[in-house]
Amino acid sequence: MIERYTRPAMGEVWTQKSKMEGWLAVELAATDAWAEEGLVPKEAAALCREKAAFTVEAVNEREETTNHDVAAFIDVVAASIGEEGRWIHYGLTSSDVLDTALATQLTRAGMILVEGATAYRDNLVKLALEHRDTLCVGRTHGVHAEPTTFGLRMAGFAFEADRNLARLKAAAEQVALGKLSGAVGTYASVPPTIERRVMETLGLQREEIATQVIPRDRHAEFLSVIALAGAGIERFATEIRHLQRTEVREAEEPFASGEQKGSSAMPHKRNPIRTERLTGLARLLRGYAQTGLENVALWHERDISHSGAERVILPDATITLDYMHHVVNQVTSGLVVHVDRLRSNLELTHGALFSQRALTALVDSGMSRDDAYRTVQAAAHEAFDNGVPFRDLIGTAAPQLDLDVIFDYDAYLTHLPEVFERLEAIS
């Protein structure tokens, strides 16, 4: 991922130095485990932990000879220790180190994502509660439907964000697994006791059955959950983009007046650039998830068709979602809601959005549903098309109705307290 979208904490997880530090942690934990089992001299294991060192530059230079990154790393580390460096990588295969160290990186990345997702959920809950009774028009097919509240709309996004938060937590847990079971997973060169000790040291669970690698369905699930979280953010972003249109202008992104510029040519512009950016980045996440699914089917005990792809998609997916959390939290914490515009837009159909209440009232009065529908439809279209108040038209067509009961915005708020009780339970 490009530097523009890489935030410091997540970027640090995926540096070459950080990756190799993970490799070293696995190697030293294994050497210590061998020593505890009595198969490596404890003095040698202690010396390995004391003297083991590397530089990324030295490993890269050595890799030009070995054409194998882990082998180059082992050579550099072993040389830094001296004679006792021969115990580094004892009994292990490269994927024991790679996959286990990757699990520690994914765990760290997952914690950062959970933190961002929690803030997003909480911001939406706050918005929803703040505007629980703020009336606005609901839209289906992009067309005015019936009144709702801005808070209820935000509550829907909040519940979705809460589901995505739960998915991220679960996905992060199910990739926090390592393996030290040797070349094809038989433990022929490294017994399960060593694996158990290493996983305890690193704070990971062990993969129950691995081949040479941890099964890639785990990573595919992690990437799919990230993509789904991104899709949820995209849905919210799309809503704000529509609401910020000049013709609607019910809500808009925060804009730093006097500092921010909306257009290089048109000074009046305040564009929804953050939510548009979020929409574009969500598309990347779906691509990464697709590649993760392609990585599941490897040949026999392992091939490396997944390896090159993962070097791109795992860092980029986590970096992208982390950045999206950062941006969407800017939007949700500073969202400008134009309550006056919400209210005025309710009147654009001249009351026609009360059509269902009028329909129900006519049915209750004894009219057949089809006759009631046609009566209401004709009045509603005239109101919408010609600007005649729908209330007056219905009053003329059906003078027996209690218009105050029908044309009552409070009726749309009656059952919302129950929904907001559910919302308060997740925050």
Task: Please state, as a whole number, how many other Cβ atoms lie within 10 Å of the Cβ of residue 71.
Answer: 16
Do 310 and 254 share a structural domain? yes
Work out the number of other CB atoms within 10 angstroms of the CB of residue 406.
23
Determine the pLDDT at residue 374: 95
Instruction: Convert the pLDDT of each residue in 210-229 to its tens digit.
Output: 999 999 999 999 999 999 99
Residues 40, 163: one domain? no
Question: Are 299 and 387 members of one domain?
Answer: no
Residue 264 has a pLDDT of 66
pTM given for the model: 0.94
| Domain limit, last residue, from 308, 343, 378 | 343
Q: So what's the pLDDT on residue 119? A: 98
- What per-residue confidence (pLDDT) applies to 255? 80
* Nearest of 334, 328, 322, 283 to residue 160 by alpha carbon: 328
What's the domain range around 384? 348-426
**CA 183 to mean position of chain CA atoms:** 35
User: Is there a single domain that holds both residue 32 and residue 142?
Assistant: no
Question: What pLDDT score does 259 carry?
Answer: 74
At residue 312's C-alpha, the angle toward residues 311 and 315, to 5°, is 85
CATH of the domain at 73: 1.10.275.10
User: What's the pLDDT score for residue 208?
Assistant: 95
Q: Are residues 232 and 156 in the same domain?
A: yes
Active site residue 368: no
- What distance in Å separates the CA atoms of residue 182 and residue 93, rounded to the nearest whole number? 5
Q: Taking the CA atoms of the chain, what radius of gyration do you get in angstroms?
A: 30
Query: 149 and 86, same structural domain?
Result: no
**Which residue in the list 80, 95, 131, 141 is annotated as catalytic?**
141
Those residues of the chain that have pLDDT short of 50 are: none
Q: What is the dihedral of CA 388, 392, 396, 401, to 10 degrees?
A: 140
Of 343, 358, 381, the residue that ends a domain is: 343
Six token digits for residue 177? 């697994």
d(CA 314, CA 321): 11
For residue 210, give the CATH number of its domain.
1.20.200.10
Q: Which of 18, 89, 131, 263 is catalytic?
A: 263
69 and 98 in one domain?
Answer: no
Contacts 24+ apart (CB under 8 A), 190-198: 190/30, 190/91, 190/92, 190/96, 191/37, 193/33, 193/37, 194/30, 194/33, 194/34, 194/37, 194/91, 197/29, 197/32, 197/33, 197/36, 197/37, 198/26, 198/29, 198/30, 198/33, 198/100
69 plus 129 within the same structural domain: no
Same domain, 96 and 230: yes
Indicate the residue among 55, 90, 125 that finishes a domain.
Answer: 90
242 and 260 inside one domain: yes
Question: Does residue 161 sit in the same domain as residue 271?
Answer: yes
Task: Kindly write down the DSSP assignment for every residue of 10-49, as one continuous string.
Answer: HHHHTSHHHHHHHHHHHHHHHHHHHHHTTSS-HHHHHHHH
Domain count, the chain: 3
CATH of residue 403: 1.10.40.30
**Whether 357 and 414 share a structural domain:** yes
Residue 263 has what pLDDT? 61
Asked if 268 is an active-site residue, the reply is: no
Helix, strand, coil abundance in the chain, percent, nearest 5:
65, 5, 30
Q: Which two tokens stand for residue 225?
A: 């959950």
